[in-house]
Amino acid sequence: MSFTDLGLCAPILKTLSVNKYETPTPIQSQAIPAVLKGRDVVGLAQTGTGKTAAFTLPILHRLTAQETKGPKLRVLILSPTRELATQINDAIWTYSKGLRLKSAVVIGGVPVKRQQRLIAQGIDILVATPGRLEDLIAQKSVKLNHIETVVLDEADQMLDIGFMPAIRRLLKLTPNNRQTLLFSATMPKEIAALAKDHLTDPVQVAVTEISSTAERIDQTVVHMDQGSKPTAMVKLAEKHPGKRIIVFTRTKRGADKVAKRLNAEGIGAEAIHGNKSQGQRQRALDAFRKGSKLVLIATDIAARGIDIPDVGVVVNYDLPNVPESYVHRIGRTARAGASGMAVAFCSADEQKLLRAVEKVIKKQIPAMNADGTAMQPQAARALDKTNSRRTPGRASGKPNKRQWHKPRGGKPGGQSPRRRSTKNAASA
């Protein structure tokens, strides 16, 4: 099958040909015809499967076929992070060459006045993070009453960040007869409920189950003390000179510490996370793409949606609390048929997290000792048994003592968890 078979208009096909895009990916071949027909779509697909083109190409086709007098905001694309929103807008710019269409991206970390001026000039497509979009709506800079198509990209990640209430509020501001396209790597019950409430008879599109990406990558887990991880990271980077390496940490502070240590050892590294300005994050990504810095350290939220080719090694410096995130992380290597390597650093307190990951990918990850020698299966099982009662997430690897907090208001039952604010979620 080729893009010609999907029914896209001639200008888009010409642009695809110029960019040497010849064969659609599975998600594209399934989603594009449904979007062209005006159907709502629920797509299950991970980053790197070509889903951005799966919704942007048919949207551009439909906008071109139904031209209006002057630009009018007809398409809204919501994204969890600044980087992904920027990448989507870049893709729209690439695919829409020769078309009389205008798009804009509105994200946090960028002066709002500049974005207001761009919108005021007239646009057809708006790519936005929910937090900044709500700010602009409150300032009466954006109206959604003419929206024909809404795209919710990386919906599960928007749920993780805390954007779900904002998404529901934004959908209520759009016409009821709009087309809605929802893409997500996983389908937790909250996303399923969102689809049930806001999509009409959607076409279900799914490509590859979540564990399949992990099958194509050379994976290793290295058991070590938490305090040994910085040195191990330096040695690993030195062992793979010239290769692009993405390192995942659990916290923003952890990302900064790893970057500082690597740079101190003469290894060019950059960190991206929510505390960095948009300019800092973009410069870090540009340096990584160009190869002037070969190591990128990131938190899960900051790295979501980043699509950088030729990543040779992915390092789980800290194992993720959500096991599915492991698959998303390591899926950034071994793309387009290339080989890739994934290394996980596992301290004593992360054994439960490791077992949860192995359950998701349906295989046991080969274990290594910190000195690079293979760990015997019986030794790995003994280590797991020894640490089976330890709580994941603690740096020391020591068992937690039960701690009791005085509940709010003096009532029994413990302290209620603090609800995470969505106001600043766009900074993630």
What is the pLDDT at residue 81? 87
Do residues 66 and 32 share a domain? Answer: yes
Answer yes or no: is 394 within a domain: no
Is 11 part of any domain? yes
pLDDT in tens, 256-302: 999 999 999 999 999 998 788 878 888 998 899 899 999 999 988 76
Of 159, 187, 206, which one is at a domain's C-terminal end? 206
Give residue 411's pLDDT. 41
- What pLDDT is recorded for position 188? 83
> Same domain for 312 and 343?
yes
At 71 the pLDDT is 79
Q: What is the pLDDT of residue 281?
A: 85
In a domain, 425, yes or no: no
Phi, psi torsion values for 211, nearest 5 degrees:
-85, -15
186 with 219, same domain?
A: no
Q: Is residue 153 part of a domain?
A: yes
Report d(CA 151, CA 231) in Å as an integer: 43
Q: Which domain holds residue 20?
A: 3-206
Cα radius of gyration (the chain): 23
Residue-level pLDDT at 212: 59
Say if residue 156 is in the same domain as residue 225.
Answer: no
Number of domains in the chain: 2
- Report which of 292, 302, 289, 297 is spatially closest to residue 260, judged by C-alpha positions: 297
Within this chain, do residues 33 and 47 fall inside the same structural domain, yes or no? yes
* pLDDT in the model for residue 230: 96
Q: Tell me, yes or no, whether 192 and 232 share the same domain.
A: no
Q: What is the mean pLDDT of each run of 10 residues along the chain (428 residues)?
A: 88 90 91 96 84 95 83 94 90 92 92 93 96 96 96 89 92 97 89 94 82 74 94 95 94 94 96 84 89 92 72 94 84 72 94 92 84 59 52 41 41 41 40
CB 54 within 8 A of CB 277: no
Domain at 290, CATH number: 3.40.50.300
Q: Are 28 and 149 contained in the same domain?
A: yes
Strand order in the sheet with 269-272: 269-272, 295-298, 244-248, 311-316, 341-346, 218-223, 367-369
pLDDT computed for residue 395 by the predictor = 41
d(CA 330, CA 247): 10
- Same domain for 46 and 148, yes or no, is yes
How confident is the model at residue 427, as a pLDDT? 40
At 50-70, the pLDDT tens digits run 899 999 999 999 999 887 777
Same domain, 171 and 28: yes
